[in-house]
Structure 1
Amino acid sequence: MLLSVIILAYKVPYHVLLCVQSVERSIASIDAEIIVVDNNSQDETEELITTNFERVIFQQNNENLGFAKAYNQAVHTAKGKYVCILNPDTVLSENCFKTLIPFAEKQPDFGALGPRLIDGTGHYLPESKRNVPDFKVAFKKMTGDTSRYYANQLAQDEIGEVPVLVGAFMLVKKQAYLKIKGFDERFFMYGEDIDLSYRLTQNGFKNYYFGQVSVIHFKGESTVKDRKYNLRFYGAMQLFQQKHFSQGFFIDKALDLSLKCLAFSKSKVASKEEDQKEKTAIFWVYKGNLEQEELKNIPFQINQVINFEKEKELQKFNSKLIFDLNFLKFSEVIDAFQLLKNNKNRFRIRPSNCNFILGSDTSTSRGELLKW
């Protein structure tokens, strides 16, 4: 088998469903499997996945094992030559793996690869490619200087080697993953992707950023960016520093104290989204033939149904655009996110054969889910 796509779910059942739909279309012509691991969400995740996707391998954990341990568990059961570590709040295009895997196959000493990630507003996420956060880089990031933290030596749409990829989407050669013994399970959540990327390069493998393929990463769905998040995030940074770049007992302790103070100083980031329900026009985006009967049970007023093929109709401002995947390709939706990102629009997606929409207007808090 060529590919195993592993999705780790935790309390985001409807995002997982959308993610799996996109993965199924992306592996349509590839010898591949999909594994969904649920970290004891205790919600509708298992029912939604096992009911709607017969071919998906579902693994249920009885406790929240964290990111690293749950993925290690799944990789050992995976059959693919490559494994794709994938977050549940991601959306892939139909040509994603058809483009990335042939590139990976041509690279000597291939370790891992990551695509260009965009958020729910269509904007580029700079963490798609990063440098190794050694002591100096980490210290600068703590003070708000990210000039050396992100791998700005490559442009957003370029392809090339980078030191560090993000765990939201990592295509990894399974042989390389197993050689370095996978994720370090001391990282419960955050930092394990940096550590894995660094250890791959330390063992002679190469990591690549592929800026010609875009993937939506909503962010903030499994974890609200509150004080608990900050403690885990900065604690992971501390663990990485001590593991690979220890400066001695006293400097390590000083860094530890600084990181804890920084974590406690960060309060919960509130969404700044304004309540524009009365002002925002809502447009339903389709392609082909749409029967008005299909929209009769939707619990909000649609101002206009617009055709995706008529680009001028899509050029809206300060509007909410709902993309219906009963009619559209994932690649079309991803392209539209990027095309319309600067028009102050808000985007929502309706998965195929589903009566809900979802989307996110900020990367720091949970987005909107509306069912009917």
Structure 2
Amino acid sequence: MDISIIIVTYNSERFIRACFDSLQAHVKGVTYEIIVIDNCSGDNTCELIRSYYPSVCLIENKENVGFGRANNQAAAVAQGEYLFLLNVDTRLLDDDIANALRYARDHSVAVLGPKTIGLAGTVLKTWDSRNSLVQYIGSILAGAFFVDRFITSDTSPSEPSQPLPVAFLVGSAMVIDRQAYQRLGLFDEQFFFTGEERDLCMRYFNAGLKLIYYPGWSIFHHVGSGDGQSRFHFVNWIKSSRQLARKHGGYWGALLMSAVIIIYTLTYWMAFLFKSVASPNDGKLRAWRSDIFRVLLWSIGLLNERTVLASAGTDLKASQKV
């Protein structure tokens, strides 16, 4: 079998039809299977899959085990020469998966990522030529002082037209060679949500394996569609960043990351504080300010995680930039 398409779902019923219909329409010229790991959804996700896509291998977890662990579950039973890890809030836009796999085989590619189109129809920046702990910490500091607003963008101003060797690929659509996975493993399950693909790319790149951005194959990604753009997302981004620093930077790396995280959270809280003072009748701004303040107190050890996440639900997107 050429490829195993792996999708992790969690309360994803609104995306199922678009994603799976695009697979049926555009996965051509290859042999494939679809494996879905559902992380204990409370909606009709599993019912939709069973009703409309009976050939899909559906594994239903009794609890939410996290994104990385769920993908590892699927990889353990996958039969394909390649694993295609795909977010459920995506859809394929063309039939070029066979060409992408052919390129991966011919050039001994360990990890390949397609071009990704966002909601505005722009090409999202889903790759980076650098991927080190120092570079990542620098990007967080740039976000803390809003420097990233002037020097970076979600879109790439110089979109490559040919396959490009890179050091990092976003995990929303990622093709991984089975031999690389068997040699180095897939995701580190200490990352519950976010950060796992950065760690994987670091491990693979540092081992001398080839990561390729492949612009000849396109998908659409409904970026920011998840339920986690809230305190839950922010807290787990912080936890993952700290875990990444411990793993790749030891004690001093973890200490530096903790300090940078506090600076980042403090500056965002101050930004929302000033905005809410300028617009005192804006309830959403006040809610954002309150959410970030809770996260700030947790980041310096003055609140526990359970208290921070209680009734979490506002759209806090501060962590999307880094």
TM-score normalised by length of structure 2: 0.76
Aligned counterparts of 1:266 and 1:76: Cα–Cα separation in 2: 40
- Structure 1 vs Structure 2 CA RMSD: 2.9
Verify: 1:262 aligned to 2:264, yes or no: yes
Tell whether 2:238 aligns with 1:239. no
The whole-number CA distance in structure 2 between the counterparts of 1:96 and 1:66 is 30
- Specify the SS of the correspondent of 1:115: strand
Alignment partner, residue 164 of structure 1: 168
Alignment partner, residue 97 of structure 2? 97
| 2:231 matched residue in structure 1 | 227
Conserved 8 A contact 1:9-1:41? yes
Cα distance, 1:13 vs structure 2: 1.1
Quote the offset at 1:364 in angstroms.
Answer: 5.3
CA change 1:45–1:265 in 2 (3 A) is: farther
CA drift of 1:182 comes to 1.1
Deviates further, 150-159 or 56-65 = 150-159
Question: For residues 219 and 117 of structure 2, what CA distance do their matches in structure 1 show?
Answer: 6
Q: Is the 8 A contact 1:26 1:98 kept in 2?
A: no
**Structure with greater proportional strand content:** 1
Query: CA 1:254–1:363 in 2, change beyond 3 Å: closer, same or farther?
Result: closer
**Structure 2: distance between partners of 1:50 and 1:266:** 43
**Deviation readout 1:307-343 (Å, 9 max, x if unpaired):** xxxxxxxxxxxxxxxxxxxxxxxxxxxxxxxxxxxxx
For the pair shown, the structure with the greater C-alpha radius of gyration is 1
Aligned to 1:69: 69
Q: Where in structure 2 are there 5+ consecutive unaligned residues?
A: 273-314
Kindly provide the CA deviation profile for residues 104-143 of structure 1, in whole angstroms up to 9, marking residues without a partner as x.
Answer: 11113x2100011121221221134452042244224332
Q: What SS does structure 2 have at the residue aligned with 1:24?
A: helix
Deviations 1:270-314 (A, max 9, x none): xxxxxxxxxxxxxxxxxxxxxxxxxxxxxxxxxxxxxxxxxxxxx
Go from structure 1 to structure 2 and tell me whether the alpha carbon gap of 1:176 and 1:151 turns closer, same or farther (over 3 Å shift). Answer: farther
Q: For residues 149 and 118 of structure 1, do their structure 2 counterparts lie closer, same or farther at Cα, with a shift above 3 Å needed?
A: closer
Show the 5 A alignment for 1:332-347. Answer: none
Distance 1:123 1:364, change over 3 A: farther
**2:60: which partner in 1?**
60
- 1:114 is matched with 113
Q: Give the SS at the match of 1:216.
A: strand
- Residue equivalent to 2:122: 123
SS of equivalent to 1:245: helix
Measure how far apart 1:228 and its partner are.
Answer: 2.6
- Pick the structure with more helix per residue: 2
Structure 1, residues 52-81: CA drift from partner, whole Å, max 9, x if none? 012111111110011110000100100000
- Deviation of the 1:48 alpha carbon: 0.5
Output the amino acid matched with 1:259. Answer: I
Q: Distance in 1 between matches of 2:157 and 2:81?
A: 30
Q: Which AA in structure 1 matches 2:254? A: D
Q: Secondary structure at the match of 1:113?
A: strand
User: Could you tell me which residue of structure 2 aligns to residue 142 of structure 1?
Assistant: 141
Structure 1 unaligned runs (5+)?
270-361, 366-372
In structure 2, what is the Cα distance between the partners aligned to 1:180 and 1:148? 32
Give 3-state SS (helix, strand or coil) of 1:259's partner. helix
Q: Which residue pairs with 1:132 in the alignment? A: 131
Corresponding residue for residue 206 of structure 2 = 202
What does 1:208-219 correspond to in 2, within 5 Å? 208-219=212-223
Identity percentage of aligned residues? 27
Taking a change above 3 Å as real, the CA distance of residues 133 and 201 of structure 1, as seen in their structure-2 partners, is closer
SS at match of 2:114: strand
Structure 2 counterpart of 1:304: none
Deviations, residues 80-104 of structure 1 (Å, cap 9, x unaligned): 0001000000010241312211111
- Alignment-derived partner of residue 192 in structure 1: 196
| Partner residue in 1 for 2:81 | 81
Distance 1:235 1:151, change over 3 A: farther
1:150 deviates by 9.0
Q: Is the 8 A contact 2:140 2:260 kept in 1?
A: no
Q: Is the 8 A contact 2:234 2:316 kept in 1?
A: no
Identify if the C-alpha distance between structure 1 residues 207 and 4 changes in structure 2 by more than 3 Å, giving closer, same or farther: same
Name the TM-score, length of structure 1 as normaliser.
Answer: 0.66
Instruction: State the aligned residue count.
Output: 270
Question: Counterpart of 2:42?
Answer: 42
Separation (CA, whole Å) in 1 of partners of 2:243 and 2:166: 22
Matched with 2:287 is: none
